[in-house]
A and B are shown apart, each in its own frame.
Chain A
Amino acid sequence: MNNIGTGILWFLVVVFIQAFLFDPILLGIPYAPFIYVIILILLPNNWETWIVLLVGFFIGLCIDFIFLSGGIHALASLVVGYLRPMCIRATYKDTVDPKELKLKNESSISLFRYTLLVILLHHFFMLVFVVFDWDSIGWFLTTWGVNSLLTFVAVALLLLLTQIPKK
């Protein structure tokens, strides 16, 4: 997703799929993969953090607009955008500078590990603002786990289809 045109195409396709295929209300269950997270994963690492923050916020806002969810997705995407360098450092320990990292040059295992970390973080912050209550901790953990798994499966499939790591 190194040029803007590809990025916008990714964004439109993912939002379209998210809105018309993976809408929890449409599916009638509280669980659905939030595949738009893939955009946050594939955003170029050499972008300045403030651009990532604005892009993440904007993408989340679009999803909120579609799902009428206030600003929950915007907030979760924003947090992921802010913590992205930390996730990269945690996953790719050998990389000196996260901005130098090119996901295509790294192993699939590392990419999936990184994806899982981003998804867990994103869903955690998203659900924290949905549940917000210690009494519903069981529901929170279940939904967090199931949604994260669904999202991970969907995103991993998309990554396998579109991003083929060399190593």
Chain B
Amino acid sequence: MQKLLNSILRNGTLLLFLLLFAIALLLIANNQSYQRNKLLTFSNNIAAPFFNARHQLTSYLKRNIQNQQLIAENQYLLTQLIHQKNQHVLLDSLPFLVIPTQVIHNSIKQNHNYITLNAGAEKGVKKEMGVITAKGIVGVVYATNTKTSGVISLLNKSLRVNAKLKKSNHFGSLYWDGVATNTMKLSDVPLAANVEVGDTLTTGGMSAIFPAGIEIGVIQDVVVPLNDNYYTLTVSLFEDLTRLSNVYVVDFPQAEALKEMINSNNDE
């Protein structure tokens, strides 16, 4: 404190000069519009890098909150998008929600890969719910506990997903052949479908797991078999399943009722 006082007394003249200089600048800025604009521009140029650095720092510190906001926003937009795409499908009458969650484990090197999510029964995640992202489908929930849930990854040889060609509405069965993490196979598409490379593949909407119309990927390769009436197609996925982070679990609240109705119809 003594040192500070001594320093102030020692540099008193300089401090007085700076104080009066600042007052003069203030007077100029307040009374002369041209000088005010120039001073503002000048100070803005000086201050801009500091503001930018501060913004970057606060953005970094607030990234969790911002991520939460983005996830919530994505959740809303994704719901709107899927609702819009499903307007013509029967399942549209079934309202659905998306539950935002994060991937905490994702195996990709096995033939049967699984994903673990950090949302469980507590957040409403149940077995047989679909898991999607904004760029495609990810898998199907096979087990849940309170805080986490297990998902059969699309990169799992035992999983088959109903899909359809966007252009011709022909349905097929999508599965992983265990070769590459960015491609899958589509079988059971009849030759009449006239498939071309580049055709888009979407979810079929034939179950209460995935809403219809979610784009999955594009046809990368078309093989016409010699002794078969069905294509074997290679599909290039839109979503990179090896780099999953934020995903959404699709919840059809009335899925059980639908299943019961289908079962009772079948029984009759």
Contact = CB atoms under 8 A, between A and B. Distances in A.
- Highest count of chain B CB atoms <10 Å: which of A53, A68, A70, A129: A70
A71 B25 contact: yes
Interface string B19-33: 011011111111110
A75 interface: yes
Contacts of A132: 34-35, 38
- Highest count of chain A CB atoms <10 Å: which of B16, B24, B34, B35: B24
B266 interface: no
B51 to A, nearest CB: 23
B17 interface: yes
Interface string B173-185: 0000000000000
Interface residues of A, number: 21
A82 interface: yes
A53 B28 contact: no
A23 interface: no
Contact of B21 (A64, A68, A69, A75): A75
Interface residues of B, number: 19
Given A78-B17, A82-B17, A64 B38 contact: no
Contact of B26 (A49, A69, A71, A130): A71
A63 to B, nearest CB: 12
Interface in B1-22: 12-13, 16-17, 20-21
Contact of B20 (A57, A68, A69, A72): A57
A75 B16 contact: no
A82 B12 CA distance: 12
A78 B29 CA distance: 17
A129 B37 CA distance: 12
Contacts of A74: 20, 23-24, 27
A50 B24 contact: no
Report, nearest first, the 5 A-B pairs whose CB atoms are least far apart. A71-B27, A70-B31, A75-B24, A71-B24, A70-B28
Given A74-B27, A82-B17, A132-B35, 19 more contacts: A50-B12, A50-B16, A53-B20, A54-B20, A57-B23, A60-B24, A69-B31, A70-B29, A70-B32, A71-B23, A71-B24, A72-B32, A75-B24, A78-B20, A82-B13, A129-B28, A129-B35, A132-B34, A133-B38
25 contacts: A49-B13, A50-B12, A53-B16, A53-B20, A54-B16, A54-B20, A57-B20, A64-B27, A68-B31, A69-B32, A70-B29, A70-B35, A71-B23, A71-B28, A72-B32, A72-B35, A75-B24, A75-B28, A78-B17, A78-B24, A79-B21, A82-B17, A129-B28, A132-B35, A133-B38
